[in-house]
Amino acid sequence: MQNTVTPTHCPYCALQCGMNLTPAADGTVEVGERADFPVNRGALCGKGRTAPQVLASGARLTSPLVRSDGGELVPAGWDEALDRIAGGLARTRAERGADAVGVFGGGGLTNEKAYALGKFARVVLGTSQIDYNGRFCMSSAAAAGTKAFGLDRGLPFPLEDIPRTGCVILVGSNPAETMPPSLRYFTELRENGGTLIVVDPRRTRTAEQADLHLAPRPGTDLALALGMLHLVVAEGRVDERYVEERTAGWEEARAAAMAHWPEYVERITGVSVPELREAVRLFCAPEAAMVLTARGPEQQAKGTDTVGAWINLCLATGRAGRPLSGYGCLTGQGNGQGGREHGQKADQLPGYRRLTDPAARLHVAGVWGVDPDSLPGPGRSAYELLDALGTDVRALLLMGSNPVVSAPRAAHVEERIRSLDFLAVCDVVLSETAALADVVLPVTQWAEETGTTTNLEGRVLLRRRAVTPPDGVRGDLEVLHGLADRLGVEKGFPTEPEEVFEELRRASAGGPADYSGIDYRRLGEGNGVFWPCPAPGSEGPPHPGTPRLFLDRFATGDGRARFAAVAHRPSAEEPDEAYPVLLTTGRVLAQYQSGAQTRRVAELNAAAPGPFVELHPRLAARLGAAEGDPLAVVSRRGRAVAPARITTGIRPDTVFMPFHWPGEGRANTLTNPALDPTSRMPEFKVCAVRVEVAR
Ligand SMILES: Nc1nc2c(c(=O)[nH]1)N[C@H]1C(S)=C(S)[C@@H](COP(=O)(O)OP(=O)(O)OC[C@H]3O[C@@H](n4cnc5c(=O)[nH]c(N)nc54)[C@H](O)[C@@H]3O)O[C@H]1N2
Ligand SMILES: Nc1nc2c(c(=O)[nH]1)N[C@H]1C(S)=C(S)[C@@H](COP(=O)(O)OP(=O)(O)OC[C@H]3O[C@@H](n4cnc5c(=O)[nH]c(N)nc54)[C@H](O)[C@@H]3O)O[C@H]1N2
Ligand code: SF4
Ligand SMILES: [Mo]
């Protein structure tokens, strides 16, 4: 395997760029262009290009660590570490019941790991208390997509359709920094005569490429979408025939939109009536158009309704389930799509089945060889689970997330984690969360192991092992196998990813996310397969996969898409005298998520060395702040300090902080854990703060 070129995929975001890896004799790994992979055609961002540096980083864990009597984390052997974890989880279960043991997963885990982790929680631990960081990511879009279309797949079409449509509205999405190679699709759209509208309170690098940039006040996208729908109706642009033939619920949705006059919407959003009209004109003029959302409108306590309102706009104008038209959500993490399909979510079984559906329980229990009645019911959502640590949930197994940095109201979450009776973390580095654990297991990552991921298009991909892992580390699947064995379940947790995938195929068969017609051989030969891809009957040819969904019918019982009857409502926390400024949060190009991995790469740290507070010159003048001055940002949850970065590219009523760093500048010390009632998504994108120069 050494010194050969292995075609594989990036460890980080949902684009899952193709790349070629070649290990060199000196232990380094060369990243080469993989031009034949259509999604990125060889292009990579700096994070992907430098990803191998994390493999060899001095920060890499190469031995299990256990907490000593003196309270230090000290190296230990694998047997001792696994014994301790099994003992810790079993003790809590014996003393307090199965639901006192929690499991927290991640959307970066491969399909095989996500599947095995969900099975481990339900079958070995018997707990309902499992959820994952995808809840913080795209759960609002998933909930709205399921309501509207009967099925949630981030993009219902491949990225290659984007350049050929007529207009794209990108809502709260900054691909120039979060998925740079995808920007090409939007550039080509404009070269082909199409138009790009960007909706973002900041003039991002993405907004700079747009034909029209709307800069609403954070947390008001719902009103904005309703205002546009109002104009669509008022200007006679409704596709009556499509609404009649392919949708349900229009009358209620129409009535709700009619209550949102453009002038009223202007007052709520700060987007002027002429801008609203122009957006409607650009969206409605061409034959086909798309709306794509990302975390801006979704990470709100009304994220599900907000996405529903954008879907309404698509439905009223006949722009869903037709060629080159549709609504899509740009998922975030490497396996953000697959990670939400195979059972690490609190209410879910593999194949995107519902845990409360008796037929789903019967099918999956059959594959697992257990009694369906032994499967627990739905558990708490991610923030609610973290909030219950130390009280109802006393022991936690965590794999693939760093909530001390990334969870809302992070100081409280950190305090909850510290109050656990027992914490075990599997990670590649000593993340801020792993540093609090009783046992830390060092695991293999990405290029050191094989597994599948499902990218933002719903394309299932094979990520191949390209290098030999360092001595002392093991894969997450080996960890689950070792723990299951110690907890009395000897069978059902294979360590070979392909074996796990074969079982996942059977478990997903017949479910909404049906992978049963996909296997490693097929994935190895091409550029991935789009689900659903059911297994053919004994005679039939292989199913080709489904790049484009809903062209004939939606996945609802009657085949019709559902309008959402939604109305504007304020954010959970609006500015007042004590906290007069809006805080929003997000990402920068050179760091990834909690930074656990990218903060180990010198080149990335040079480009993005630390947190900052972005603010408008007018707000800066009011505060007496100059560029680089330390600013204290204070919310009802806490206080963070970071240098001022002054720019005219942000609304004067809003400040922005990236969330990639721990410590004093941790943005999530400030954020509001108010949850969306349907998706249980926290309101990362808007809360009220006070800003002052920290002297
Ligand atoms: N460089 C980098 N790339 C990444 C990641 C990373 O950490 N770093 N993470 C990956 C993951 S998991 C994800 S989920 C994606 C996220 O990808 P994006 O959604 O593109 O990233 P964000 O920066 O969180 O948010 C996008 C934009 O929303 C805007 N915004 C803030 N509040 C509002 C609002 O109320 N309404 C609207 N309309 N917009 C608002 C912000 O100004 C920001 O520019 O990126 C993926 N790619
Ligand atoms: N304020 C604010 N907060 C946010 C957001 C925001 O926009 N604003 N965005 C939210 C979103 S969209 C997301 S997705 C979350 C992400 O935030 P986190 O869930 O913290 O995501 P990561 O930093 O990617 O954490 C993954 C951890 O798992 C480790 N890891 C990587 N690969 C593997 C593996 O294969 N196995 C194991 N066991 N470990 C592995 C990494 O080293 C890292 O420590 O943050 C959320 N938090
Ligand atoms: S855009 Fe995403 S998948 Fe592509 S190289 Fe960058 S981080 Fe990796
Ligand atoms: Mo995400």
Last residue of a domain, one of 17, 36, 59: 59
- Do 404 and 524 lie in one domain? The reply is yes
Residue with tokens 């256990």: 66
Quickly state the pLDDT bin for 319 (edges 50, 70, 90).
very high
- Do 88 and 170 lie in one domain? The reply is no
Beta-carbon contacts of residue 267 (< 8 Å; ≥ 6 apart): none
Model confidence at 2: pLDDT above 60: no
Residue 297: CA atoms inside 13 Å, Cβ hemisphere, count?
Answer: 36
Eight-class DSSP state of 641: E
| Nearest of 547, 560, 681, 512 to residue 155 by alpha carbon | 547
Classify burial at 557, counting beta carbons within 10 Å of its beta carbon; exposed 0-12, middle 13-18, buried 19 or more. Answer: exposed
Ligand 1, atom 44: closest residue by C-alpha: 174
Identify which ligand lies nearest to the alpha carbon of 330: 1
- Do 298 and 370 lie in one domain? The reply is no
Average pLDDT over residues 485-509: 98
Residue 561 lies in a domain: no
Question: For ligand 1, is residue 172 a contact (CB within 6 Å)?
Answer: yes
Quickly state the pLDDT bin for 1 (edges 50, 70, 90).
very low
Distance CA 693, CA 695 (A): 6
Candidate from 12, 159, 186, 335 with most ligand 3 atoms within 8 A of CB, to mutate:
12
Quickly state the pLDDT bin for 3 (edges 50, 70, 90).
low
- Do 84 and 186 lie in one domain? The reply is no
Ligand 1, atom 26: closest residue by C-alpha: 173
Beta-carbon contacts of residue 250 (< 8 Å; ≥ 6 apart): 243, 315, 316, 563
Give 38-97 pLDDT, tens digit per residue.
999 999 999 999 999 999 999 999 999 999 999 999 999 999 999 999 999 999 999 999
* CATH code of 354's domain: 3.40.50.740
- Do 246 and 346 lie in one domain? The reply is no
Task: Say how many Å lie between the CA of residue 136 and the centre of ligand 4.
Answer: 7
Quickly state the pLDDT bin for 539 (edges 50, 70, 90).
confident
- Do 301 and 355 lie in one domain? The reply is no
- Do 258 and 125 lie in one domain? The reply is no
Candidate from 16, 17, 174, 185 with most ligand 3 atoms within 8 A of CB, to mutate:
17
Model confidence at 106: pLDDT above 80: yes
Last residue of a domain, one of 530, 563, 589: 530
Distance CA 622, CA 406 (A): 31
Nearest-atom index, ligand 3, CA of 15: 3
Total number of domains in the chain: 4
Average pLDDT over residues 611-635: 98
Entry pTM:
0.98
- Do 246 and 100 lie in one domain? The reply is no
Residue 540 lies in a domain: no
Average pLDDT over residues 322-342: 97
Model confidence at 270: pLDDT above 70: yes
- Do 310 and 383 lie in one domain? The reply is no
Give 661-681 pLDDT, tens digit per residue.
999 999 999 999 999 999 999
| Nearest of 477, 371, 421, 479 to residue 93 by alpha carbon | 421
Residue 543 lies in a domain: no
Give 378-396 pLDDT, tens digit per residue.
999 999 999 999 999 999 9
Quickly state the pLDDT bin for 538 (edges 50, 70, 90).
confident
Model confidence at 25: pLDDT above 90: no
Model confidence at 609: pLDDT above 80: yes
* CATH code of 51's domain: 2.20.25.90
- Do 256 and 368 lie in one domain? The reply is no
Model confidence at 657: pLDDT above 90: yes
Q: State which residues form the domain around 647.
A: 581-693
* CATH code of 611's domain: 2.40.40.20
Residue 665 lies in a domain: yes
* CATH code of 199's domain: 3.40.228.10
Q: Angle formed by the axes of helices 221-234 and 262-269, to 10°?
A: 160
* Residues less than 5 Å from ion ligand 4, measured at CB: 137, 332
Give 467-489 pLDDT, tens digit per residue.
999 999 999 999 999 999 999 99
Quickly state the pLDDT bin for 464 (edges 50, 70, 90).
very high
Distance CA 245, CA 224 (A): 27
Last residue of a domain, one of 329, 363, 388: 329
Model confidence at 398: pLDDT above 60: yes
3 state SS for 372-441: HHHCCCCCCCHHHHHHCECCCECEEEEECCCHHHHCCCHHHHHHHHHCCCEEEEEECECCCCHHHCCEEE
Report how far Cα 237 is from the mean position of its chain's Cα atoms: 34
Nearest-atom index, ligand 2, CA of 399: 38
Classify burial at 372, counting beta carbons within 10 Å of its beta carbon; exposed 0-12, middle 13-18, buried 19 or more. Answer: middle
Judged by average pLDDT, the poorest of 12-21, 24-33, 320-329 is 24-33
Q: What are phi and psi of 253, to 5 degrees?
A: -65, -40
Report how far Cα 656 is from the mean position of its chain's Cα atoms: 20
- Do 75 and 27 lie in one domain? The reply is no
- Do 524 and 475 lie in one domain? The reply is yes
Residue 413 lies in a domain: yes
What radius of gyration do the chain's Cα atoms show?
Answer: 24
